[in-house]
């Protein structure tokens, strides 16, 4: 199916944009959530660049931060005159769920899982290392079973600084790989956070695998994925744009559903 898509992922602290053509990601940009004018300007520029293409197109927002997403959607609608589709409101995430009744799962987790399943078509574990670290399991039938949520690297470092009298404010990075010990305060903090997250993921992967009875592929995404897992033999793939790709999967599925119903489309999903 041929279509163009502007996908927008509104996170807790950052907004990521992706421009897709036929499920292929052509361009991405990431901004702090408070850079609303720049986000709108970028999305508007991409959208108007699609004017001369006689193809279905859509502008889709997924969000775990609705206060930001609502303002963004209103501004984009005013600028583009287009209908802004929202994941969870207008578009469903195409993945099964096995969760407690009434459970509401963050769209980022479901979209990342849907994107991983769309490509792999086999059981997998999806690790998203951003503001929070999530480790989720998708079974061999494409059903999302949930998983675990922990504080992300920067959240942990911020808490160490804010909740103690003497620990400094530091940026997250990989600690010196040649040193097993943190020989100063900053390195000790980095070792605690870096190795703590990696150890958490290892333990959860073991736990999920034991419960499932097989060892699934492990896919990592999120802003800190490369720093944390770039050399980790446990992680089979690092896909930075996994959630954006999940938005593309949701848009493609919605367009396919419209086509099957006999509607000849238009310019929206």
Q: Beta-carbon neighbour count of residue 192 at 10 Å?
A: 15
Burial class of 79 by CB neighbour count within 10 A (0 to 12, 13 to 18, 19+): middle
Task: State the Cα–Cα distance between residues 214 and 209, nearest whole angstrom.
Answer: 5
Q: H or E stretch including 167?
A: none
State how far the alpha carbon of 120 is from the alpha carbons of 48, 133, 239, in Å: 34, 22, 13
Which two three-digit tokens encode residue 191?
A: 């070792």
From the list 56, 108, 118, 224, the catalytic residue is: 108
Which residues lie closer than 8 Å to 104 by C-beta, 6 or more apart? none
Q: Partners of 138 in the beta sheet?
A: 124, 144
Task: State the Cα–Cα distance between residues 247 and 23, nearest whole angstrom.
Answer: 10
Instruction: Mark whether 66 is an active-site residue.
Output: no
Q: Beta-carbon neighbour count of residue 206 at 10 Å?
A: 12
265: left (phi over 0), alpha (psi -120 to 50) or beta: left
State how far the alpha carbon of 71 is from the alpha carbons of 30, 42, 84, 225, in Å: 17, 15, 12, 29
Which two three-digit tokens encode residue 106?
A: 């963050």
Q: H or E stretch including 55?
A: none
Residues with a known catalytic role: 108
């Amino acid at each position: 199916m041929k279509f163009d898509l502007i996908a927008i992922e509104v996170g807790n602290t950052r907004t990521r944009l992706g421009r897709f053509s036929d499920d292929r990601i052509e361009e991405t940009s990431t901004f702090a959530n408070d850079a609303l004018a720049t986000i709108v300007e970028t999305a508007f520029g991409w959208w108007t660049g699609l004017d001369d293409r006689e193809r279905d197109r859509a502008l889709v927002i997924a969000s775990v931060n609705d206060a930001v997403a609502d303002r963004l959607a209103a501004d984009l609608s005013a600028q583009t005159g287009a209908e802004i589709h929202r994941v969870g409101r207008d578009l469903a995430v195409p993945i099964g769920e096995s969760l407690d009744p009434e459970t509401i799962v963050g769209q980022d987790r479901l979209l990342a899982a849907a994107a991983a399943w769309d490509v792999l078509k086999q059981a997998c574990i999806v690790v998203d290392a951003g503001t929070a670290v999530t480790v989720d399991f998708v079974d061999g039938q494409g059903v999302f079973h949930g998983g675990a949520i922990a504080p992300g690297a920067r959240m942990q470092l911020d808490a160490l600084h804010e909740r103690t009298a003497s620990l400094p404010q530091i940026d997250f990075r990989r600690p010196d790989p040649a040193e097993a010990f943190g020989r100063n305060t900053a390195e000790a903090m980095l070792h605690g956070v870096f190795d703590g997250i990696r150890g958490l993921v290892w333990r959860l992967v073991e736990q999920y695998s034991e419960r499932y009875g097989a060892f699934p592929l492990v896919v990592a995404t999120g802003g800190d994925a490369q720093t944390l897992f770039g050399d980790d033999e446990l992680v089979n793939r690092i896909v930075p744009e996994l959630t954006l790709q999940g938005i593309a999967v949701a848009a493609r599925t919605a367009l396919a559903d419209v086509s099957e119903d006999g509607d000849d489309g238009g310019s929206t999903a």
